[in-house]
Structure 1
Amino acid sequence: MGILPRFDGDKAKPRGRDVEPKPDPAAVAQQVVRELVLPDPVIQTSPDEKHAQLVRVPTWMWLDGAMWKPVAKTAKVPGVSVTATATPRSATWRMGDGETEVCEGSGTPYSSKFVADSSSPDCGHTYVRSSAGQPDDAYTVSVTVTWDVEWRGGGQQGLIPGLQTQAQMPLRVAEAQALVTA
């Protein structure tokens, strides 16, 4: 056997540790998103849940403004660092009476500076039927907050839409009867 000639394509291989390939930033982003801890929404209404809403009187709904902010998490693995930031996009309210309201923000908290029967400027609902006859004589109101997640790292970026958090509560709706006397 003779010595084989060396071709230009032959390169000396590095000795010692093999070089590990860098992780895929998109795969790291998926892991970071699974580890994000998003705040649970807390439903608030006016009148509050301890008092009955009234048929044909606007109900105000809102979520704590402090939860309506971006949430970020970073993962660092050998060779790449990825940050995922979840931002709340909308709140979908199912009012329990078959109606749905979609609000683009957390809603406006009711305060005494508003007229008692005024509608919320951005997130409200007016019931047209009482909740009498429903389980516990209350509608089940639920809210689903939809979050969009942007991630960046390893020279790449992407968007993961549609993460959701949810909450629900019972809400009684009463009907006030007017009595006209002459």
Structure 2
Amino acid sequence: MDANALGGGGRGRSGNDQTSRNNDSNDKNKNPVQCNYKLADPQPPAGSLDWEGHKPGDGAVYVQTCQYLDSALTVERMGWSTELPQAPAVNPAALAQQAVDKMRLLGPDIASPRAAGRYTVGVPMWMWVHRSAETYGPNTASASAGGVTVTATAKVSKIVWQMGDGTSVTCNGPGTPYQASEGMAQSPTCGHVYSKTSAGAQGGKYQATATSTWTIGWQGGGAAGQLTENRQSNVQVAIGEVQVVR
């Protein structure tokens, strides 16, 4: 498409020009998945703004239709060009984001600590999560346009726990489920020891959060890359003191 081809100067059609302008500030809409062009039929009358100062017979007016990352959003506009513009190559990175948008990526499915549990100051707490495609991965989806297919696969690479007592714990895995045979041992993969009770916290419990980082690898259309997404879950943790029986 040469410098005289349909471009940013094209005027919206059927009232869609306002939509097009509003979306110029939206990064994802700057990278359409696919654009198609066709000759406007009938051609606009002489003097129409769609001619961009040219006269009928000097080139022609074409209709550009672009589909963006949100598959429900299609923007159409008209503009003048010396010849039928060529559709740009499909953007694999945009297709990758479209594939990610198809996935249901959730926050961690916290198994421990439990909201109904009661834990003790100084006693090692073992933290772990249940694993599924939606809460831990792998989670895979594909998106296609213009004969190009991109496949993305997401998996949680780490979980950062904010314990509610001002401390943070980063776990590079789902954690290890506690077994009674472990006694007072600390978790080998993901754990925490509270140094004070939650009596002074709101509701008498610490407000803990677990934030998972989804690492998403994609490939297709002769390209490959990586994306990240974050998701969060919450749990309230009651921490008490050891009760001494006399």
Q: Which TM class, normalised by the smaller chain length? A: 0.7 to 0.9
Question: What is the CA distance between 1:178 and its match in structure 2?
Answer: 3.9
The answer for the alignment partner of 2:139 in structure 1 is 71
* 1:35 equivalent in alignment to 2:102: yes
The answer for the alignment partner of 2:54 in structure 1 is none
* 1:165 equivalent in alignment to 2:211: no
* 1:102 equivalent in alignment to 2:170: yes
Aligned positions of 1:39-54 closer than 5 A:
39-45=106-112, 48-54=114-120
* 1:175 equivalent in alignment to 2:241: yes
Structure 1 residue identity aligned to 2:142: T
Counterparts of 2:244 and 2:181, CA distance in 1:
27
How many correspondences in the alignment? 161
Counterparts of 1:35 and 1:51, CA distance in 2:
35
**Do the aligned residues in 1 keep the contact of 2:198 with 2:204 (CA within 8 Å)?**
yes
Question: What is the CA distance between 1:168 and its match in structure 2?
Answer: 0.3
* 1:122 equivalent in alignment to 2:189: yes
Question: What is the CA distance between 1:177 and its match in structure 2?
Answer: 4.6
- Identical-residue share of aligned pairs (%): 36
- Runs of 5+ consecutive residues of structure 1 not aligned to the other structure: 1-16
* 1:55 equivalent in alignment to 2:121: yes
Question: What is the CA distance between 1:94 and its match in structure 2?
Answer: 0.4
Which TM-score applies when normalising by structure 1? 0.81
Counterparts of 2:224 and 2:117, CA distance in 1:
47
- SS of equivalent residue, structure 1 residue 172: strand
Question: What is the CA distance between 1:20 and its match in structure 2?
Answer: 4.1
**Do the aligned residues in 1 keep the contact of 2:125 with 2:191 (CA within 8 Å)?**
yes
- Find runs of 4+ consecutive structure 1 residues off by over 6 angstroms: none
Counterparts of 1:54 and 1:86, CA distance in 2:
36
Cα deviation code 1:68-93 (max 9, x no counterpart): 33111001222210011112110000
Which TM-score applies when normalising by structure 2? 0.61
